[in-house]
Structure 1
Amino acid sequence: MTGDDLTKDELLSRFLQLEQRVEELEQENKRKDEKIDQLQEQLDQKDERIEELETRLRKYENPHTPPSKRRSATDESPTAQDDEDDDVRTDGGTPGRNEGHDPEWRTVADPDEVVEVTCECCPECGEHFDESAGVSPRLVEEIPDPQPPEITQYNRHHYGCDSCGTQTVASHPDCPGEGQFGVNVIAQAALSRYDHRLPYRKIADRFDQLHGLELSGASAWHATERAARAGRCEYEQIRRQIQEAEIVHVDETGIKRDGDQAWIWTFRTDEHTLYAVRESRGSDVPAEVLGEDFAGTIVCDGWTAYPAFSSTLQRCWAHILREAEDAAEDYEDAKPIYRTLRQMYVGLQAWLETDPSTRERAQMHRSSQNGLRSLAERSVADEPVATLLGKIEGGIDHWLTFVGEPAVSPTNNAAENALREPVVLRKIIGTLRNDRGMFVHETLLSLLATWRQQGRNPYEELKRVVKSNEMVSRTHAVPAVEPSG
C-alpha cells in the first residue's frame, strides 16, 4: 500500500503513534539522564571519599614514613589472611622466633626456700602411704606483698660556730633536702611516668593501692620534677659526651607546648641519647646542643637545618630510597632512577664488607659521586620526578660520606628509633604545659634512654642520682609555673 492509498484518518493515526513513540523515547532518555546524574553524583562522592582516605593513608604510607610505621601487610601476610588474629604484627611478619633460630629460655634463680609437699593417705580410698615414690619439683617465682611506707622523723639539729658565726644544720643521707617523700618514692614516681607511661593521678592511685601511701597527682608531679632536677647534672654530662663524639645521629619531631607547635630533638651516639625540647626547628638548636665548634659527622635526613649548621653530613639513604620508590609507583620516569639508587646502595653495602683500603674508599667515593651526578642530570617531564632528582643533586656532597668513613652509617635509623618513645608519650600526654614540663620531659627521657643503652638499671640509677645529686640540683633555676598532671 502506498502513501496515496492511505486515508487521511490512517495517516493521522500513524502520525499520532509516531508522536507518542517519540514522547516515550524522550521520557526514557530523561530517565536515563536522571540516572546518569545520580550515578555521577555517587561517583563524585566516592572520589571525594577516596581522596580523603588517601590523604589519611599518606600519614602512614609516604616517602618520609619510617618502615616501623608503615602498614606493609600483603596478600600473603597474616594481616591479610586473618583479621581476627590479635597477635599479628603490623609489619607483615609473624610473632615468635624465626624459623631455624634456637629458642630462648628464661634463667631461673636458685630457690630461697624449699618446701616439702607431702600427702599421708590416698585421696580415693584412704589407704595410708608408707613412703614417697618420688619427687616432682616445681619452681615458683613470687614477689612479696607490697610493704606499707616507713615513716621516719629526722630531728635535724642546728649549730652555731662560736669562732666564725656560721649557722649549720646537720644533714643525713636518707633525709631529702626538701619535701616529705624519700628517694624510693621519687624514683618510682619518675619511672612510672616515663617508663610505664602512667598519668600522674594513676601514679598516685598506684602508691595508694600497693603501699597505702596517700599522695595527690600534683605530689606525683613534684616528685617527678625532683627526679629531673636531681638528674640534670648527669643530663649535662651526656650533652658534653655527645659534643665530643665523632658521629651523632640527629632527628626531630613535633610536640605541643601549651597547644603551640614545638619540637623534640634527639641526638644519639652509640652510648648516649640526649633529647632537647625547643620551640625552634632551625639550625640554632644543633648549634646550641652540639656547640658551634662541633667537629663530628652528623647523620640526618634532608631537613635544611642540618646543612645550615654543618657541612660534614651523611644524608639518610632510607629516606631517599623511600621517596624514589614512592615516585616509581606513579611515574614511569622514576622507575630507572629508583632502580639505579637501590642497586648503588646495595652494591656499596656489599663492597664495604670486603674491608677496602682508604685509597679504595676514596676512589669508590669519587666514582659513586659521579654516578649520582649523572643520575641527577637526567631530563624528565614529570615535576615530582624532577623534584626527586633535585634532592639527589642538592645532597650530592653528603650521600656518600659513609663510603669514606667506616664508622658512619648510611641511614639515620638510630635517631628515628630514639624518637619512638617520645612519640608514644606524645600520643598519651597530648601537650607539655610550660617550660617546667619541657625541662622534666627532656631530662628524664635522656637519662632513661642513655642508661638503657649502657645496660644500667634505670630504677637503681634514678635512686642514685636523686640521693647523691639532690643538693646540687636544687641550685638549677627552673620556671615557677607548675604543669598539670
Structure 2
Amino acid sequence: MRKEVKILRLRSASLANANKLLKQRISLLAVENKTLKAQLREHDQLIKSLEKELVNLKNQKKTYTGMIFKSNVAKNTESLRGKNFGYKGSSRFNPKNIDEVITVKCDVCPDCGSKLKLYNGVYEHIVEDIVLPVKKTKVIKYLKCRQYCPCCKKEVIAVHENEIPNSSFGPAISAMILMLKYEVNVTLPKIKYLLSTLFGIDITIPGIQSQLSVSKRHFEKAYSEILTDIRASPVKHAPDFCDLVRFSGVDTFS
C-alpha cells in the first residue's frame, strides 16, 4: 500500500511539473501570437498603402501617356506667336549716339579661300555693350584745415558735402553697397566680386560690413527725423516705412 502511494505521489509530481511547463509554453506562445498579430496588422496596412500608391501611379501613367503620346492630332492647328491682333507693337530703338565705327571685311572667302571683291553697300549692325571696368574710380584727397573755435575752446574740422566721415569710400560707392545689400539682396561676397569686377575696387568683406555700419551712423540722424515725422503723421504707409529702414542701413530684414 505504501509503495503504491509513493508511486502515485511521484506521478502526481511529474504531472504537476509537466503542467507547469505547459503553462509556461502557453504563455510564451500567447505573447508570440500577440506579436505576430501586430506584425500582421502592420503588413496589412502596408499592403493597403502600396495598393493605393499603385493605383495612383497607374492613373498618373495614363495621364502622362495621354499627354505624351497623342493620337490623331490635327495638323496645322498651331496658333500664331505674339500678341493678338490690334495690340500696338513695341521694339527697342537703336542708340542715337555712335561712339565708335568699325569696318569689318574679309580678305578671302571662308568657304573656298578665293579673294573677295568689294561692291557698293554695307550691312549695319549696331551693338550696345558695357566697357569693363565701367568707369575708373575718382580718388579725392581732402585737405582738412585745422581750425579752432575761441568760444567753444575746441578744434573744429570741417566736413565736405560729398564726404562721409570715417569712411574710405565716397557716397556713390556707399549707395551702391546699400542698394546691392538691401534692395537686390546680394550677399557680401558677391558685393565684393561685383565691386572688384565692374569698378576695380579692392575691398574686403569686413570692409563692406564696416562701410554698412558707417552708412548707418551717417544716416542715423536723418532717419530719426523722418521716423519722427512719420509717427506724428495722421496717415502712415507701411511700404515707405520699410524702404526708409532699408535706406538707413539697419539690417532688420535678414
Counterpart selection for 1:240 from 209, 217, 229: 229
Counterpart selection for 2:187 from 199, 203, 207: 199
Counterpart selection for 2:169 from 170, 177, 181: 181
Q: Deviations over 1:71-119 (max 9, x none)?
A: xxxxxxxxxx79xxxxxxxxxxxxx976454444234431332415153
Q: Deviations over 1:365-423 (max 9, x none)?
A: xxxxxxxxxxxxxxxxxxxxxxxxxxxxxxxxxxxxxxxxxxxxxxxxxxxxxxxxxxx
Contact preservation (8 Å) 2:147, 2:157? yes
> Deviation at 1:207?
2.4
Q: Does 1:443 align with 2:245?
A: yes
> Deviation at 1:140?
0.9
Select the structure that is richer in strand. 1
Matches within 5 A, 1:330-341: none
Using a 3 Å threshold, how does the CA distance of structure 1 residues 194 and 240 change in structure 2: closer, same or farther?
same
Paired position in structure 2 for 1:110: 96
Paired position in structure 2 for 1:142: 129
Matches within 5 A, 1:410-421: none
2-side partners of 1:141 and 1:160: how far apart? 54
Q: Deviations over 1:258-307 (max 9, x none)?
A: xxxxxxxxx14xxxx213xxxxxxxxxxxxxxxxxxxxxxxxxxxxxxxx
> Deviation at 1:230?
4.0
Give the root-mean-square deviation of aligned CA atoms: 4.6
Matches within 5 A, 1:307-326: none
2-side partners of 1:218 and 1:157: how far apart? 31
Using a 3 Å threshold, how does the CA distance of structure 1 residues 159 and 119 change in structure 2: closer, same or farther?
same
> Deviation at 1:235?
7.2
Paired position in structure 2 for 1:403: none
Contact preservation (8 Å) 1:157, 1:169? yes
* Aligned amino acid, residue 188 of structure 1: M
Using a 3 Å threshold, how does the CA distance of structure 1 residues 161 and 46 change in structure 2: closer, same or farther?
farther
Contact preservation (8 Å) 1:235, 1:443? no
Using CA pairs below 8 Å that are at least 6 residues apart, which structure has the higher relative contact order? 1
Matches within 5 A, 1:300-379: none
> Deviation at 1:141?
0.9
Contact preservation (8 Å) 1:231, 1:443? no
* Aligned amino acid, residue 245 of structure 2: T
Contact preservation (8 Å) 1:201, 1:217? yes
Partner SS for 2:147:
strand
Using a 3 Å threshold, how does the CA distance of structure 1 residues 220 and 42 change in structure 2: closer, same or farther?
farther
Using a 3 Å threshold, how does the CA distance of structure 1 residues 46 and 159 change in structure 2: closer, same or farther?
farther
Paired position in structure 1 for 2:71: none
Partner SS for 2:156:
strand
Q: Deviations over 1:340-363 (max 9, x none)?
A: xxxxxxxxxxxxxxxxxxxxxxxx
Counterpart selection for 1:170 from 145, 151, 158: 158
After TM superposition, the score normalised by the length of structure 1 is 0.31
1-side partners of 2:165 and 2:114: how far apart? 69
Q: Deviations over 1:175-195 (max 9, x none)?
A: 321121221221111111123
Partner SS for 1:219:
helix
2-side partners of 1:195 and 1:136: how far apart? 42
Q: Deviations over 1:121-175 (max 9, x none)?
A: 563531543x5x2232222111121145443332211022567745322333333
1-side partners of 2:167 and 2:84: how far apart? 55
Aligned length: 187
* Aligned amino acid, residue 240 of structure 1: D
Give the % identical residues: 14
> Deviation at 1:225?
3.3
2-side partners of 1:108 and 1:235: how far apart? 46
Counterpart selection for 2:241 from 243, 253, 274: 274
Paired position in structure 1 for 2:209: 221
Using a 3 Å threshold, how does the CA distance of structure 1 residues 204 and 108 change in structure 2: closer, same or farther?
same
After TM superposition, the score normalised by the length of structure 2 is 0.53
* Aligned amino acid, residue 157 of structure 1: C
Partner SS for 1:274:
helix
> Deviation at 1:238?
6.8
* Aligned amino acid, residue 209 of structure 2: W
Using a 3 Å threshold, how does the CA distance of structure 1 residues 243 and 216 change in structure 2: closer, same or farther?
same
Paired position in structure 1 for 2:28: none
Contact preservation (8 Å) 2:108, 2:115? yes
Contact preservation (8 Å) 2:196, 2:203? yes
Contact preservation (8 Å) 1:185, 1:223? no
